[in-house]
Structures are given as structure tokens and as C-alpha cells.
Amino acid sequence: MKRRVDLDAARGLMLVLMALTHLPTRFSGPAGQPFGFVSAAEGFVMLSAYMAGMVYTSRALKDGIPAMRTAFLLRALKIYGCQAALLLFLFTFIAVLGLTFDRDEVKGLMGFFLQEPLTAFIGSLLLLYNPPLLDILPIYIVFMLVSPLLLAHGVSRGWFAVLGGSLLLWLLAQFDLGDRLYAAGIALSGLTTVPPKAYGSFEIFGWQFLWVLGLWMGSSAAQKPDAERRFPRAVVLLALVYALTAFVWRQAVGQVPFGDNGALNLLFDKWHVGPLRLFNFFALLVLAMHYGPRLLDRLPRLTWLEVMGSASLPVFCAHLVLVLLALVQFGAPKPDRPFAVDVLIVIGSFAALYAVALISQRLDRYAAAVKERWSRRQRRRRSRPNANAMR
């Protein structure tokens, strides 16, 4: 299947924003939610789901549902391997350096691990304990494992029930469905191995709606690639007004829309994907889909973003490694830190990320070439008995 360079560039942009947000520099604040009360994480999840829906639907239509399931499983195992490697790096190298230099920021990331190292280590491998910054890949793994069922149902029976069930779960997530299920599980089993706050910041039942929506959109694009997707003018206008309002509001008041009013802030809550936050995301999505093709025709191609987006998993993992190393070396962002130091951190980090993307791209090409040579050999071997029989 031909790569969509526009989607790669969009994922590359999300990776850039996430890296700027996570790196401990004075640029992390302005880079957080720059377009309104929506972060790069929502866009990255949606784009990843869209790519998955498009690629794996094509695989199912070409090779069958079992081949699609196998491909999803292999991808999930790859992501799990990345998560395990990041956890090992955090619990060994970063933990030793963090304790040696007495970095409160680093110790705060692994508070439960420092209290209960064995329980935390086992729990992290079971995806039950997810330290901050390392809590996004676990939900990806769960989504990848569930996606074959959703995709198979959507392709064969339609998406109405899948989308309806996903929307219901999102609604229940606004009332802390995950915490309630955790409490019920503790009451039934009597086990309290990992505290609720150590599970990670993301409410998986809220975020699954973005994934399922992207999966449906990608699958639909694979099944009907030439279908026109237009929004009514009123919808585009409403999206434009909402997005501009949120953008100006964000720039005026900062990343917390209602100050100290916790109840109202829940409407824009990131971890549950609050309703007003979801509408803000939909508004940006409508504008991107409506105006995006025209902008792409007029703007020059940003190949460096495409390269980073095409290697999204290794670049994402590398950015976490760089963030952890920066926290050990420099600590949290400080106003008195020289401006030049923050600039060097950002430049050095992005140079490293781009190098990782290039290396990953070359390795993928090499692996594809090896696979193609192997396939040719197999085809030649299978054709030899037929040739001898004809003689």
C-alpha cells in the first residue's frame, strides 16, 4: 500500500509538539496545546488509529481476516518490546542517575517503583503500573489487541454498533468508569498490588473513542478510497468559530481554561477527554479535513516531518529517552537557566530524533529488500518441480 506522505507529515508534527512539550525547557509551556485546549497526543492517537484502520483493512481485504489479526498481534508485540525496553532504561540507568544527583523530578516519575521496586517492576510488565511519560504506549498495546475484533466487525457488519458502544464508554469514562472498575476488582479479589494513581494518567475508556473513530475513518478510506468527503458549509463555519474561540482563549488564559474551578475544568480535561475538549478536537479535525488538501497543494513539502512521521514508533521512544536524560542532567525548566542552554537542548534533541528516523527508515528498507529476496527464492523453489514435470 502506498504511503500517505500527508499523514506522515501530520504525525511528524505531532511528534515535534510532544517533544517540545516534554523536554524540560522554557519552550514546553508555549508548545503545550498551542492550537486550543487540545494537545498533540489526541492528534497522534487519531492519526495512528487512522493509519491502522487503513493499512489493516487493506490487509484484511487482500489476505483475509486471520492475516489481519496476525499483523495486529505482531505490531502489538513490537510496541510491548519498546515499552519493556523503556521501563528497563527508567528503572536502571535513569533511577541510578536520578538518585545520585538527587533529582526530585526523576524521583517523582518513579515514586511507586522506589517504594515497591519488585511489585512495580512486575506490575509494569503486566501493564498495570505505568509511570508518567511511559503511560501512553500501554494504551496503544491494548488498542492494538482489541482492534482486530473491532475492524473485523466493522468491515463485515458495519460500524454502527462499534461506534455506538465506543461513544457509550466515553460517556461513562466522564464519570470515572476506570476507577470504578478498579475499585470493583479490588473488592472482588482483595488484591491491592498497584495503587490506582500508578495505573497512568490516561483514562483508557475515554481515549478509546478517539482510537475507534480513527479506526473507522481509516477503514472507510481503505474500502472507498475515491469517495468524496465534504462537510456542509454550516459545519465548517461552526468548527471555525469554535476553534478560533478556543485558540484565543488558550492564548489569553493559558492551558487551564477556568483557573481554579476544578468542576468546569473537567469539561476540558485531557485525561478523560472531556466533552468540550472533544468538541475542540472535532472542530480542528473538520478544519484540517476541509482545508488541508488545499494547503498541501500550495505549501512546500516538509520532508523532514514526513521522515519523522514515517518512523513514529522509534522516534516516539527516542524522544522519551532524551526527555529522561534531560531531566537527569538539567532538572525541571528554570527561569534563570540561560536561554542558549534551552536552545541547545531542543536543537540537540531534534537532531538526534531526526537521525533516529533516518536510521529507522534505512533499516526498514533493508528489511523490505531482504524480505523481497526471500520471497523470490521461495517462488523459484516452488516453480522448480513444475518445470521438471513439464520436461
Three-state secondary structure call for residue 35? coil
181 pLDDT higher than 90: no
389 pLDDT higher than 60: no
pLDDT tier for residue 378 given thresholds of 50, 70 and 90? confident
Question: CA separation (Å) from 236 to 283, 290, 298?
Answer: 8, 8, 20
Three-state secondary structure call for residue 130? coil
Residue-wise pLDDT tens digits, 72-116:
999 999 999 999 999 999 999 999 999 998 889 899 899 899 999
Most confident range, picked from 92-96, 294-298, 383-387: 92-96
Element (H, E) at 118: helix 117-125
The angle subtended at Cα 138 by Cα 347 and Cα 119, nearest 5°, is 110
pLDDT tier for residue 299 given thresholds of 50, 70 and 90? confident
Q: 149-156 — which CB contacts under 8 Å span 24+ positions?
A: 150/212, 150/215, 151/53, 151/56, 151/57, 151/60, 151/68, 151/215, 151/219, 152/60, 152/65, 152/68, 152/69, 154/215, 154/216, 154/219, 155/57, 155/60, 155/61, 155/65, 155/219, 155/223
Mean pLDDT confidence for 27-53? 94
Question: Across the chain, what does the average pLDDT equal?
Answer: 91
23 pLDDT higher than 90: yes
pLDDT tier for residue 191 given thresholds of 50, 70 and 90? low
Cell representation of residue 129: 503500573
Q: Between 128 and 275, whose confidence is greater?
A: 275
DSSP string across 227-256: ------HHHHHHHHHHHHHHHHHHHHH-S-
301 pLDDT higher than 60: yes
Residue 228: predicted pLDDT: 75
| Tally of CB atoms within 10 A around 236 | 17
Residue 297: predicted pLDDT: 84
Residue 186: predicted pLDDT: 72
Q: Which residues of 329-354 are buried (b: 16+ CB within 10 A; e: fewer)?
A: ebbebeeebeeeebeebbeebbebbb
- CB neighbour list of residue 132: distance below 8 Å, 6 or more residues apart: 108, 109, 200, 201
Mean pLDDT confidence for 185-208? 82
Residue 226: predicted pLDDT: 75
Residue-wise pLDDT tens digits, 202-241:
999 999 999 999 999 999 999 988 777 789 999 999 999 9
Torsion, CA 83, CA 84, CA 86, CA 87, rounded to 10: 120
Three-state secondary structure call for residue 290? helix
172 pLDDT higher than 60: yes
What does the alpha-carbon distance between residue 21 and residue 16 come to, in Å, rounded to a whole number? 9
Residue-wise pLDDT tens digits, 342-352:
999 999 999 99
Residue-wise pLDDT tens digits, 329-372:
999 998 899 999 999 999 999 999 999 999 999 998 888 888 88
Cell representation of residue 318: 527516542
Residue 192: predicted pLDDT: 67
178 pLDDT higher than 70: yes
pLDDT tier for residue 312 given thresholds of 50, 70 and 90? very high
Residue 385: predicted pLDDT: 59
What percentage of the chain carries pLDDT values higher than 70? Answer: 97
Residue 379: predicted pLDDT: 77
Cell representation of residue 235: 459545519
320 pLDDT higher than 80: yes
pLDDT tier for residue 383 given thresholds of 50, 70 and 90? confident
pTM, full prediction: 0.92
